[in-house]
Chain A
Amino acid sequence: MILIYLILILLAGALLAWISGNLNHVLPRVITLVTLIVDLVWLIIYLLQTVAFSNKWLIDVQHHWILQFGIGVHFALDGLSLLMLLLTFFLGIISVLISWKEINSRVGFFHFNLLLILAGIVGVFLSLDLFLFYFFWELMLVPMYFLIGIWGHENRTKAAYKFFLYTQASGLLMFISILALYFVHGNSTGIYTFDYIQLLGTHMSASTGLLIMSGFLAAFLVKLPVVPLHNWLPDAHTEAPTAGSLILAALLLKTGAYGLLRFIVPLFPIASSSFAPIGMILGVIGILYGAKLAFAQTDLKRLIAYTSVSHMGFVILGVFSFNELAYQGVVIQMIAHGISTGALFIMAGQLSERIHTRDINKMGGLWEKAPFMGAIGLIFSMASLGLPGLGNFIAELLILLGAFKSNVLMSVLACIGLIAATLYSLRILQKVFYGVKNTDWKMNDLSIREKTIAVSLVIVIAGLGFYPQPVFNIAKPALLKTLDEHNEKTQLNSENLKVETDLKSKLYFYK
């Protein structure tokens, strides 16, 4: 039941925050913070009690919902989702803290939306019923839309539309695929259900599998995002308020990656194997093209947004490598990218709060007045270019190694992304912190609150860089299960194919 409570707490907190917003501005912040801390602490307590991570679900909750269609409320937790939840709650707390001063209008409603998004994300990470999954998948869009559309920057409306329409369009394609899967499974077994575990063993022909998978892929690749489906991202990230950018980059994108791991790979083992080369190419294109665009930008947030495109390219590269190394890398990348890009967005937010511009050509020399911020900017720029000792390095290393195992060329091309990452990361530092300060700015260094946020993020990213083992241990059973699920099927398939061709040749002989 803890899983349902986790979501319910968030929802209750959301309503409370909204209502309390009418009373004063501090209360919703506090309520939101408390809500998230309660969730986080509860989860950590649970984590500490869990002795061993086996390949079974740690928690599995099932209820009926809409019986007529075989829809149930099915939540389950394994290592992968546990990690994602921890990240969600942690960054949720961070996003409340960074908005403490930034958001001064409609505070209650802001936090309502914030918690609603988080609830949606938590739901996505926990749902094991495809209908429920889609439900949450869409649910998080509306509050996110509000977050961008109400508290965003100048072009917020356009960006919010783009975000919503893009994700909605791709989501609907996934929806069609979910239904198709439902029918394929129902027609072959007679059991019409949306339950993930039951659908796992669905038999389908190769072409059907590819078609159905492409719908899922559309949704996940848009969320991830993968070039050429990435255009919503720069706009949304740029125009969103800091907390919004943070959640978008650090959490929302991860739902795409999570979806790939949780659904694409085990549900469509054969189709995903045949898609793998294209997937890897897309990943490489994403890495390089994202980096290229990031390098060209002058808007700081836009620049960071494009780096996300580039970093997420690694994720898809890893996912379609189908081996444990790459998968562990993907998991770390999800967390590390969340932290590092989130931190960069926070920095961009803090900068524009102080100097009211996001144009890096107008910045410069900020090191002088804000050395602490400079240090933080430095650390996370380095993280983003994959400096060893920070989490991103581990991630990229494992992904590239894993990819190297399955496709040397793609991995090597992806390595060029490392150089490209250097180009844009250093450009940030150069433009923002080097040079002479514009005298007009009244620039303060980070406040205690901001320092706390920054330091906690640094600790996490450095911890991931130097001691990522706990994460590996938690994620391992889940990832191995996914891989087994995948490999079993693909091997079976190749055997089947063999049998089939044998049969065919025999039949031919008898003719």
Chain B
Amino acid sequence: MTETDFLSLSPFLILALAPIIIMIVISIYRNYEVVFGFSVLSIVAAIVSIVFILPVIPHSIAPLFLVDRYSLFFITIILISALLVIFLSYDYLKQLDGIREEYYIILFTSTLGASLLAVANHFILFFLGIETLTLSLYILIAFEKTKDSSIEAGIKYLVLASVSSAFLLFGMGLIYITFGSMQFSVLEIAIRHLNQLPLLFIFGVGMMLVGIGFKLALVPFHMWTPDVYQGAPAPVSSYIATVSKGAVMAVFIRFFFNIRGFDNQSIFIVISGIAVLSMFVGNLLAIQQKNIKRLLAYSSIANMGYLIIILLTGSDKGIQAAIFYLITYFITTIGAFGVISLLSTKELEAENIEEYRGLFWKKPWIAIVMTFCLLSLAGIPITAGFIAKFYLILEGMKAGLWILIFSMIINSVIGLYYYLRVITSMFSVANENLLPSVSVLGKVTLAFVTISILVLGVYPGWLIDFIVKYAIL
């Protein structure tokens, strides 16, 4: 281990140290605010540390780690999302009874797992990262253990995630048997000279798709999504939708591009099929959904369907489009779940669309945030979602993925319908239910989200520049 190694690992070190320190602090003096403050500081520190790594990249700590611009970019996104989730969690957790500080510890371990996925260059790190992330998520999902729904969501996620991990693992094993290496870069070299991929390898990739498809909630491995989103605490749902998916996407893109999956016809077709199915199933399921958390879950299925189109372009530009899409999707989803978690009380999770009826006339600003988020998800201009979709379609068309682009178009329209349903109910005549007041922290978070959506929607050039400059595999 050299100094450079340590330097390039500094975000991970911070993320690993933070939970330990929190644990020690808790054992001495249990205080919610202190833990929260420390968590925020640690994440910020981790983000700041990335700046110091920049000069030394790309840096590979063989065989597990590959710290390059791409991974740092993803880590930054993950950390910022985690920060926003922490902000949103503050109010949500504060109102809960009992022990709450552990939440932050687990949030750190899961964020660590997610960040590790971004730098993973090896099956072992892939596996460990994904398990660190997932195991932490079991706990986070079931965190409100007094609630039936939370526990139910937890056990469902646990069983399904374990099974998918088992598949993932089996697939890794088969690939390992075929080429004798677990390192992505070695696999790439091994594959480069083959005209035809061995069937066993394809079988392995197929099995890995189960694991990855599960994490990304792609059809047919999507069914857990609405249940878990609904049962989990709202900030955790947003965490699953963003950090967890983003991290898995990061490693999946890297893996997929390393094995050049887009060049293999059967993988290509399977991925396209999954993409198309995900779009249709996700959107169709959402159109009559009355529970807004489930609705967002279905929407996330569809969105991931859009996103994996980009895998098939097989170009760096495609990856950039995917990253842009992910960023906007992160912001938007966090905003939407943020609204839900800020409007939820101890007794009542604000998850029925009915409860949002007339929100605009009671809490206009919150409703506007939600409207912007939903419009962004639907891809309407002046929101970031529009530019993101534009970018995605642009790259998809460049690669000539016509069927996928057209099904994306059809689905955008279906999707628009249910986003509009929520918006409509927010703007219709108010009902009488009372809404909790929103803390300053929540307001700041939502304001940040909204401004980002607007800025990225109207003036996205700088971010695209940034991505083009930094997010190269």
Tell me if A172 is interfacial: C-beta within 8 Å of chain B. yes
B461 touches A161 (CB 8 A): no
Task: Pick the residue among B393, B412, B417 that contacts A161 (CB under 8 A).
Answer: B417
Tell me if B435 is interfacial: C-beta within 8 Å of chain A. no
B397 touches A180 (CB 8 A): yes
Tell me if B223 is interfacial: C-beta within 8 Å of chain A. no
Tell me if A45 is interfacial: C-beta within 8 Å of chain B. no
B427 touches A149 (CB 8 A): yes
B460 touches A66 (CB 8 A): yes
B393 touches A165 (CB 8 A): no
Closest A residue to B383 by beta carbon equals A142
Residues of B within 8 A of A121 (CB): none
Residues of A within 8 A of B393 (CB): 175-176, 179
Residues of A within 8 A of B387 (CB): 66
Q: When chains A and B are docked, how far (Å) is the Cα of A65 from the Cα of B394?
A: 17
Residues of A within 8 A of B460 (CB): 66
A164 touches B420 (CB 8 A): yes
Tell me if A12 is interfacial: C-beta within 8 Å of chain B. no
B413 touches A169 (CB 8 A): yes
Q: For chain B, residues 416 to 441, give those with C-beta under 8 angstroms from any C-beta of chain A.
A: 416-417, 420, 424, 427-428
Which of B55-63, B120-128, B148-156, B374-382 contacts the other chain? Answer: B374-382
Q: When chains A and B are docked, how far (Å) is the Cα of A75 from the Cα of B424?
A: 33
Q: Could you mark each residue 454-473 of chain B with 1 if its beta carbon is under 8 Å from any beta carbon of chain A, else 0?
A: 00000111001100100000
Residues of A within 8 A of B420 (CB): 145, 160-161, 164
Interface residues on A, range: 20 to 34
How distant is A411 from chain B, measured CB to nearest CB, in Å? Answer: 36
Tell me if A487 is interfacial: C-beta within 8 Å of chain B. no
Residues of B within 8 A of A136 (CB): 381
B397 touches A138 (CB 8 A): no
Residues of A within 8 A of B398 (CB): 183
B382 touches A139 (CB 8 A): yes
Tell me if B447 is interfacial: C-beta within 8 Å of chain A. no
Q: For chain A, residues 123 to 161, give those with C-beta under 8 angstroms from any C-beta of chain B.
A: 131, 134-136, 138-139, 141-142, 145-146, 149-150, 157, 160-161
Tell me if A67 is interfacial: C-beta within 8 Å of chain B. yes
Q: When chains A and B are docked, how far (Å) is the Cα of A35 from the Cα of B119?
A: 55
- Known A66-B464, A69-B394, A106-B361: A168·B413 in contact at CB below 8 Å: yes
Closest B residue to A170 by beta carbon equals B413
Q: When chains A and B are docked, how far (Å) is the Cα of A172 from the Cα of B405?
A: 10
- Known A106-B361, A145-B420: A138·B380 in contact at CB below 8 Å: yes
B416 touches A164 (CB 8 A): yes
Tell me if B386 is interfacial: C-beta within 8 Å of chain A. yes
B412 touches A160 (CB 8 A): no
Q: When chains A and B are docked, how far (Å) is the Cα of A179 from the Cα of B424?
A: 31
- Known A138-B386, A142-B380, A164-B420: A66·B461 in contact at CB below 8 Å: yes
A173 touches B409 (CB 8 A): yes
Closest B residue to A68 by beta carbon equals B464
Interface of chain A: mostly helix, strand, loop or mixed: helix
Closest A residue to B406 by beta carbon equals A176
Q: When chains A and B are docked, how far (Å) is the Cα of A168 from the Cα of B428?
A: 22
Residues of A within 8 A of B427 (CB): 146, 149-150
How distant is B313 from chain A, measured CB to nearest CB, in Å? Answer: 13
Closest A residue to B405 by beta carbon equals A176
Closest B residue to A71 by beta carbon equals B461
Q: When chains A and B are docked, how far (Å) is the Cα of A172 from the Cα of B390?
A: 10
Q: When chains A and B are docked, how far (Å) is the Cα of A67 from the Cα of B459?
A: 11
A183 touches B397 (CB 8 A): yes
- Known A66-B460, A67-B461, A68-B468: A142·B394 in contact at CB below 8 Å: no
Q: For chain A, residues 30 to 88, give those with C-beta under 8 angstroms from any C-beta of chain B.
A: 65-69
Q: For chain A, residues 159 to 199, give those with C-beta under 8 angstroms from any C-beta of chain B.
A: 160-161, 164-165, 168-169, 172-173, 175-176, 179-180, 182-183
Q: When chains A and B are docked, how far (Å) is the Cα of A160 from the Cα of B421?
A: 10
Task: Pick the residue among A67, A172, A179 that contacts B413 (CB under 8 A).
Answer: A172
Q: When chains A and B are docked, how far (Å) is the Cα of A175 from the Cα of B410?
A: 13
Q: When chains A and B are docked, how far (Å) is the Cα of A141 from the Cα of B428?
A: 18
Q: For chain B, residues 382 to 414, give those with C-beta under 8 angstroms from any C-beta of chain A.
A: 382, 386-387, 390, 393-394, 397-398, 405-406, 409-410, 412-413
* Residue among A141, A145, A172 facing the most chain B CB atoms (10 A cut-off): A172
Task: Pick the residue among B361, B381, B394, B424 that contacts A139 (CB under 8 A).
Answer: B381
How distant is A477 from chain B, measured CB to nearest CB, in Å? Answer: 31
Q: When chains A and B are docked, how far (Å) is the Cα of A63 from the Cα of B409?
A: 30
Residues of A within 8 A of B381 (CB): 134-136, 138-139
Q: When chains A and B are docked, how far (Å) is the Cα of A17 from the Cα of B431?
A: 26
Residues of A within 8 A of B410 (CB): 169
Q: When chains A and B are docked, how far (Å) is the Cα of A168 from the Cα of B459?
A: 22
How distant is B278 from chain A, measured CB to nearest CB, in Å? Answer: 19
Residues of A within 8 A of B394 (CB): 69, 179, 182
Q: When chains A and B are docked, how far (Å) is the Cα of A445 from the Cα of B394?
A: 57
Task: Pick the residue among B361, B390, B413, B461 that contacts A165 (CB under 8 A).
Answer: B413
B424 touches A157 (CB 8 A): yes
Residues of B within 8 A of A169 (CB): 409-410, 413
Q: When chains A and B are docked, how far (Å) is the Cα of A136 from the Cα of B380?
A: 10
B416 touches A65 (CB 8 A): no
Task: Pick the residue among B397, B416, B461, B465 that contacts A176 (CB under 8 A).
Answer: B397
Residues of A within 8 A of B465 (CB): 68
Residues of A within 8 A of B380 (CB): 138-139, 141-142
B416 touches A165 (CB 8 A): yes
- Known A68-B464, A149-B427: A165·B417 in contact at CB below 8 Å: yes
Task: Pick the residue among A65, A149, A175 that contacts B424 (CB under 8 A).
Answer: A149
Residues of B within 8 A of A150 (CB): 427-428
Residues of B within 8 A of A138 (CB): 380-381, 386
Residues of A within 8 A of B390 (CB): 131, 175
Residues of A within 8 A of B413 (CB): 165, 168-169, 172
Task: Pick the residue among A65, A142, A168 that contacts B412 (CB under 8 A).
Answer: A168
B409 touches A179 (CB 8 A): no
How distant is B195 from chain A, measured CB to nearest CB, in Å? Answer: 30
B386 touches A176 (CB 8 A): no
Closest A residue to B393 by beta carbon equals A179
Q: When chains A and B are docked, how far (Å) is the Cα of A176 from the Cα of B427?
A: 31
Q: When chains A and B are docked, how far (Å) is the Cα of A278 from the Cα of B56?
A: 64
Closest A residue to B421 by beta carbon equals A161
Q: When chains A and B are docked, how far (Å) is the Cα of A149 from the Cα of B410?
A: 23
15 contacts between A and B (CB under 8 A): A65-B459, A66-B387, A66-B461, A68-B465, A106-B361, A134-B381, A136-B381, A139-B382, A141-B380, A142-B375, A145-B420, A157-B428, A165-B413, A168-B412, A172-B409
**CB-based closest 9 A-B pairs:** A169-B413, A138-B381, A172-B409, A135-B381, A66-B461, A68-B464, A139-B381, A179-B397, A168-B416
Further 9 A-B residue pairs, CB within 8 A, beyond A149-B427, A157-B428, A183-B397: A66-B461, A68-B461, A68-B464, A135-B386, A136-B381, A145-B420, A173-B409, A175-B393, A183-B398
Interface on A for B, CB 8 Å cutoff?
65-69, 106, 131, 134-136, 138-139, 141-142, 145-146, 149-150, 157, 160-161, 164-165, 168-169, 172-173, 175-176, 179-180, 182-183
